[in-house]
Amino acid sequence: MRTDFAFVGVMLVTAALLMGVALIAASLLRPKKPSKAKLETYECGMETVGDTWVQFRVQYYVIALVFVLFDIEAILLFPIAVAFNSLTFFAVANVALFVIVLLIALLYAWRKGALDWE
Amino acid sequence: MNFINDLLKIIGDFIAGIINSIFGFSPFLADLVTMGLAAIILCTFAALSFMGLTYVERKVVARIQDRVGPNQAGPFGLLQPIADGIKMFTKEDTTPAAADRWVYNLAPLVIAVFALTTYAVLPFAPGVVGTNLNVGVFFIIAIGSGSIVAIIMAGWGSNNKYALLGAFRTVAQLVGYEVPMLLNVLPVVMITGSLGLVDIINQQTTLNGNPGIPFIVFFPFSALVFLISGIAETARSPFDLLEAESEIVAGFHIEYSGMKFALFFLGEYVNALAVAFVFSTLFLGGYAGPVLPPYIWLLLKAAVVFFIFMWLRGTLPRIRVDQMHNLNWKFFVPVSIVHLVVVMVLMKLFVTSPALAQANGGILVTPAAQAAILFVASTLVLIGSLTVAARRARIMRLQEEAVLEQRRAENIAAVSA
Amino acid sequence: MTIHQVLFIVMALAILGSAIFVVTTSNLFRAALMLILTFFGVAGLFVLLDIGLFAVAQVLIYIGAISILLIFAVMLTRGMQGMVPRNSQAVAAAVTVGIIFAVLLLLFGPFRVTVDVARWPVFSLFAGNASPRDVGGIEWTPPNQPIPSVPETYIADFGRSLVDLNQYLLPFLLIAFLVDVVLAGAIFVARQRRPAEVIEDRRRQAEEAAEEAEAMRQAGMAPDVAPLPEGAVASTAEH
């Protein structure tokens, strides 16, 4: 099983090499005439004003957090789903309880307006 | 051995045999070379299908929108992808002076590499699969996280307000739609009892000795949500708000040009095709099918799914960012959870194998009956949720219109006063 | 050296290198990216340990979710370049980490700690029924056995144990409630005030200002006089 992942590693390395070769070939073929105007940050011809560091909405953070929680939920459910056929009804009822508690969390977030994107 | 049906496997075995005889002195080296060659073949397949798909998509979308599409390069514009390729290789490529050079230049490489790695676990025909991981489905969804990281790298590395904003929108969308994707793979995993893609296909080929039924019949709701989430995950129209040209000028890859831009493009198409393959595997039975060879079946199914992608792209307008989040968090996720609970309980109540019925209780039914029960339940969840959502949407629309009406009346009053 | 050992050393070096970069760089964003590389290396270690499920879960949770959350949190801050990667607690943190690492190494590493119980009788409390040794010290026993293999059915076994009453059912259900609490807390902390609430707040502030001005006027002061320090205003309002 450990060896099953060997091909994934080989694939990662091969893909990186092939794409790297494409990038290097392109850098050899293409012209390279940089000028000051070309290297400016592109904002539809306007000169860029201020820092790129604009303050982000806290909404992004809340969405990411809700995502983390549901990601963890789904990942815990996967091994249970694999074992599903051999589970007793009691166990399945507990899984349903687990899932429904999370659904309540989602509904709470919904009611508090954390999921609204204004 | 049926020659046509096992063509891919025979060719693969032949090449592996040659390599083994050359590197007979070291089995490790032989394995490494075989795997490397297989990886190169898969990457080439993905890159070639990317070139082909750009042409097909432009032609199909043009036809839908009553245009001609590319028609200058070669007959019917068939040489267009090659012309595009030459252009991508020879176009000047600038790195903005303000950019974080390392992060900026690595981002396209990361996105392309992770997109290509998805193909390592896709089964193309019986015995023709890069590696049959026992966590296959899970792996495919996880490797998608790589492109999320690449997008953040691109957005930040460019040091451009639009790029950063686009990257953030994208990431918020991609992470959000991962949840319904995971939740709707679960029913398939439950009925198969395995995360391996080959096991999932086998389960759809034969069910306890009977001819199998594709899982789209068992779980139409899951299939639909998985498909739409897949479109959102690959950021294709109508979920392409992250690269809305008219709003944030192409989003996170605004500063990229030439080959680096091509790699982003490649990542996008390769991912979309991978979603089509995965959907075919999970819900349409993968390479299983009568008469035709298995790899042809898989390609046909994937082509149909990809055609749906193109059709949607040619037809639907882009959705707004709030609509996108509402669809996910207020419709897909809660309804998927409800659907999951319903399916779980039904699958425990109606079992197909006598041993399980004896061990855990439950009513013994034939696989076809189980499929019918699950189909009815899943469809009911789908129709019920759509009805509720439609009613809510109508109420919200009426409220919005009432507010607008009131504002208009106030404006008129203000003008006349 | 086997291929496993080579891969282990490569991954361990990648983990250590990127981890050191994370704590020494002055650019928060690059630190976050390097942290992702660390997580990736840990996923590789899980593969070497033959638990592919955890490797994939590591990629999905730590790279796909936690690091995204971290980067979003970083983006909410201002001015993250030019951070000083040291603070006054650096030495204390280093000492604590060193002690924890040493303890973990002694507990789980290929070492055996023997204590001279005659000199340190207190350790006989922990020794249980193990025979006391005469000479204290630390013995190193290089592991010679191959890496134990994981059974084919480990995913299903793990799933079953999660919902087994005698195993991890309670922690499993507690996770759901923990998630609820985390979500509620996050929503409370990161709550965006709705426009209606903002308007209400402004109205209240305006009312308070008006009341204050009224109080000042009654105290015989012109309302357009520059506001006094808070204590002074309070004392005049008391009249």
Task: Give the highest mean pLDDT range of A19-33, B243-257, B398-412.
Answer: B398-412
Among candidates B119, B259, B338 on the partner chain, residue whose Cβ is nearest the Cβ of A23: B259
* B40, B159 contact by CB (below 8 A): no
**In a mutagenesis test of the C interface, which of B111, B118, B138 is the best target, namely the one with the most C β-carbons within 10 Å?**
B138
Residue A54 contacts C where some CB pair is shorter than 8 Å: no
Whether the Cβ atoms of residue B110 and residue B149 lie closer than 8 Å to each other: yes
| Interchain proximity B133–C52, CB inside 8 Å | yes
Say if residue C4 is in the same domain as residue C54: yes
Quote the pLDDT of residue C193: 57
Whole-angstrom distance, CA of residue B162 vs CA of residue C122: 66
Residue A53 has pLDDT above 80, yes or no: no
**Domain assignment of residue C105, yes or no:** yes
Q: The tokens 């009224």 sit on which residue?
A: C214
Neighbouring residues of C115: CB distance < 8 A, sequence distance ≥ 6: C123, C127, C133, C136
> A33 is written with which tokens?
């005439």
Q: Are residues C24 and C39 in the same domain?
A: yes
Q: Is B144 on the interface with C (CB under 8 A)?
A: yes
pTM of the model: 0.85
Which of A31, A64, A85 comes nearest B92 by C-beta? A31
Instruction: Tell me whether residue C22 is in a domain.
Output: yes
Number of domains forming the structure of chain C: 3
C163 touches A97 (CB < 8 A): no
Percent of the residues in chain A that have a pLDDT greater than 90, as a whole number: 8
The answer to whether residue B35 neighbours chain C at the CB level (below 8 Å) is: no
Distance between CA atoms of residues B152 and A90, nearest Å: 44
Q: Does C226 map to a domain?
A: no
Contacts of A46 in chain B (CB under 8 A): none
Domain co-membership, C18 together with C47: yes
A-chain CB neighbours of B108 within 8 Å are 19, 23
Mark whether C131 and C118 lie in a shared domain. Answer: yes
Selecting from A60, A62, A76 the residue whose C-beta is nearest the C-beta of C162 gives A76
**Same-domain check for residues C8 and C82:** yes
How far apart are the C-alpha atoms of C55 and C40, rounded to whole Å?
9
> Is the distance from CB of A80 to CB of C163 less than 8 angstroms?
yes
pLDDT in tens, B156-182: 888 777 788 788 888 888 888 999 999
pLDDT of residue B209: 58
Say whether pLDDT at B87 is over 80. Answer: yes
Q: Both C72 and C132 in a single domain?
A: no
Q: What integer pLDDT is reported at residue B247 of this predicted model?
A: 58
Do C146 and C159 fall into the same domain?
no
> How many Cβ atoms from other residues are within 10 Å of residue A96's Cβ?
17
* Tens-binned pLDDT, residue by residue, of chain C (239 aa): 678 888 889 999 999 999 999 888 888 888 889 999 999 999 999 888 888 889 999 999 999 889 988 888 887 776 556 667 677 888 898 899 999 988 888 777 776 666 666 666 666 665 554 554 545 566 666 666 666 677 888 888 888 888 888 888 888 888 888 888 888 888 877 765 555 666 777 777 788 888 877 777 777 655 454 444 444 444 333 34
Residue C141, in any domain of the structure: yes
Rounded to an integer, what distance in angstroms lies between the CA atom of residue C65 and that of residue C67?
A: 6
- Does position B201 have pLDDT exceeding 60, yes or no? yes
Chain C neighbours (≥3 Cβ pairs under 8 A) are A, B
The pLDDT of residue C34: 92
More confident residue, B110 or C138: B110
Q: Flag whether pLDDT at B34 surpasses 90.
A: no
- CA dihedral (C9, C10, C16, C22) in degrees, to 10, reads -170
C63–B149 CB contact, under 8 Å: yes
User: Is C228 a domain residue?
Assistant: no
C4 with C76, same domain?
yes
- Alpha carbon of C206 to those of B197, C194, C215: distances in Å? 64, 19, 14
Q: Residue B227's pLDDT is what?
A: 93
pLDDT-derived band at B113 (thresholds 50, 70, 90) equals: very high
Which residue type, as a one-letter code, is found at position B293?
Answer: P
Residue C81 DSSP label:
B
3-state DSSP call for residue C137?
strand
Mean pLDDT, all residues of chain A:
82
Q: Kindly state the greatest CA–CA separation across chain C.
A: 93
Q: Give the closest-approach CA distance of A31 to chain C in angstroms.
A: 31
Q: Which pLDDT does position B12 carry in this prediction?
A: 83
Residue C124 counted as domain residue: yes
Q: How far apart are CA B145 and CA B331, in angstroms?
A: 23
Residue C2 belongs to some domain of the structure = yes
Query: Distance (Å, rounded) from C-alpha B280 to C-alpha B200?
Result: 11
Judgement on whether residues C81 and C133 belong to the same structural domain of the protein: no
High-pLDDT (> 70) share of chain B, % = 96
Instruction: Write out chain B residues lying below 8 Å of A48, CB-based.
Output: 98, 160-161
The residue to which tokens 């070769």 are assigned: A21
Does residue C182 lie in a domain region? Answer: yes
In the structure, what pLDDT confidence band is assigned to residue B305 with cuts at 50, 70 and 90?
Answer: very high
Q: Looking at the structure, tell me whether residues C58 and C125 fall in a common domain.
A: no
Which of residues 27 through 46 in chain A touch B, CB cutoff 8 A?
27, 29-34, 36, 38-44
A117-C33-B260-B159 Cα dihedral, nearest 10 degrees: 60
Instruction: Give alpha helix (H) positions in B65-135.
Output: 80-90, 101-117
A62 CB near a chain B CB, below 8 Å?
no
Other C-beta atoms lying within 10 Å of the C-beta of residue B24: 10
Using pLDDT thresholds of 50, 70 and 90, give the confidence band for residue A105: confident
Do residue C163 and residue C139 come from a single domain? no
Q: Which residues constitute the domain of residue C51?
A: 1-86
| Residue B140 phi, psi (nearest 5) | -65, -40
Please tell me the predicted confidence (pLDDT) of residue C239: 40
Q: What is the ipTM of this complex?
A: 0.89
One domain for residues C72 and C113: no
- Give residues with Cβ within 8 angstroms of C204, minimum separation 6: none
User: In terms of DSSP H, where are the helices of C49-123?
Assistant: 52-58, 67-76, 90-108
Provide the CATH number for the domain around residue C79: 1.20.120.1200
Chain C residue with Cα closest to B168:
C72
Question: Pick from A3, B183, B133, A75: which is nearest to C158 by CA?
Answer: A75
